[in-house]
């Protein structure tokens, strides 16, 4: 007999506002404890010195983590000029310094070099694996490793207004907003901009304001979950903090299935659309069933997420079935 998993079966997403000084792993652990959830994971690590949106997947939502990891992310961050640090953020040791400070015009002039598809090298202190070891573990041992460069995509990159900050502070620090694709290291951007400008630079603050459809303005404080832990006798309605599984799938087609179709897909079987009304259902979702392309879609039943499916022609194949 299979061992019953401990905890409650909760399915969905939490849009968490991770505070500075807390690791992503610790945040996940606190939520697991507060909700007594069977299965919890996150959709993209935030460094301890960073704050902002940390998507937390519960239960069957962990099967959709790749969709949130692939989503565009928006950050607001501050670069301090004049120093390069070992970690490329405020936590590291100073390894280079300069008296030069860039003007806003000089900074603006180099931003196009960081737009679109670019090549960047992740920081020495990163989670990249080198021969099975994390780069940050190797770096902490005082070793320098060669980390391969990678292509990343920057959708937008701009300087934030500096109003209210003294002129001397404006010379030493610059604030930015960026929207970027998967795998982009903001710390690497600060390092590379500093090198191009000839003054060095590192990240002195970093805030993630958006991940896919999840925005910071709607995020939930970690303090709420600490209160649940401190007052376990008070029943909390998880519906107030847990978003539906399909929340992170808002940019893919959602195919509503009928009774018999849903039953087949739930059992892992493919279904075929043969009648004109059924084919019209695909066309209404913008799916060209006559093409050779395979479309990923969310199959729903009675308004609830049922499975991730691939639509090839008029064939619908279940890829991941949700046990809701």
**Rounded Cα distance, 266 and 273, in Å:** 17
Decide if 47 is catalytic.
yes
- Cα 51 from chain centroid (whole Å): 13
SS3 for 175-236 is EEEEEECCCCCHHHHHHHHHHHHCCCEEEEEEEEEEECCEEHHHCEEHHHHHHHHHCCCCCC
| Separation in Å, CA 33 to CA 159, 278, 312 | 40, 45, 42
Q: Is 36 left (phi over 0), alpha (psi -120 to 50) or beta?
A: left
Annotated catalytic residue within 47, 88, 89, 192: 47
Secondary structure (3-state) at 246: helix
Burial of 323 (0-12, 13-18, 19+ CB in 10 A): exposed
Contacts of 280 (CB under 8 A, 6+ apart): none
Active-site residues, by number, are 47
């Amino acid at each position: 007999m299979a061992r019953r998993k401990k905890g409650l079966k909760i399915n969905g997403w939490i849009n968490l506002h991770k505070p500075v000084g807390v690791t992503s792993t610790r945040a996940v652990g606190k939520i697991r404890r507060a909700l007594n959830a069977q299965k919890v994971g996150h959709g993209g690590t935030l460094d301890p010195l960073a704050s902002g949106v940390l998507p937390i997947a519960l239960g069957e939502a962990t099967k959709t983590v790749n969709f949130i990891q692939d989503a565009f992310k928006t950050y607001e961050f501050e670069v301090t000029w004049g120093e390069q640090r070992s970690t490329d953020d405020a936590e590291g040791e100073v390894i280079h310094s300069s008296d030069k400070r860039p003007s806003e015009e000089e900074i603006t002039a180099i931003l196009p070099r960081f737009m679109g598809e670019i090549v960047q090298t992740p920081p020495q202190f990163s989670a990249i694996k080198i021969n099975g070891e994390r780069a940050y573990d190797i770096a902490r041992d005082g070793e320098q490793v060669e980390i391969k460069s990678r292509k990343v995509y920057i959708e937008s990159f701009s300087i934030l207004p500096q109003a209210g900050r003294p002129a001397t502070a404006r010379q030493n620090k610059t604030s930015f907003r960026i929207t970027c694709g998967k795998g982009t290291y903001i710390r690497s951007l600060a390092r590379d901009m500093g090198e191009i400008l000839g003054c060095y630079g590192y990240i002195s603050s970093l805030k993630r304001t958006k991940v896919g459809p999840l925005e910071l303005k709607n995020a939930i404080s970690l303090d709420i979950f600490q209160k649940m832990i401190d007052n376990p006798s008070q029943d909390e309605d998880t519906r107030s903090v847990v978003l539906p599984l399909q929340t992170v799938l808002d940019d893919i087609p959602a195919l509503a299935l009928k009774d018999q179709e849903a039953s087949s897909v739930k059992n892992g079987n493919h279904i075929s659309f043969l009648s004109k009304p059924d084919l019209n259902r695909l066309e209404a979702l913008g799916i060209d069933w006559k093409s050779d392309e395979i479309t990923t879609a969310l199959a729903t039943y009675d308004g609830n997420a049922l499975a991730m499916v691939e639509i090839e022609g008029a064939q619908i194949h279940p890829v991941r079935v949700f046990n809701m």
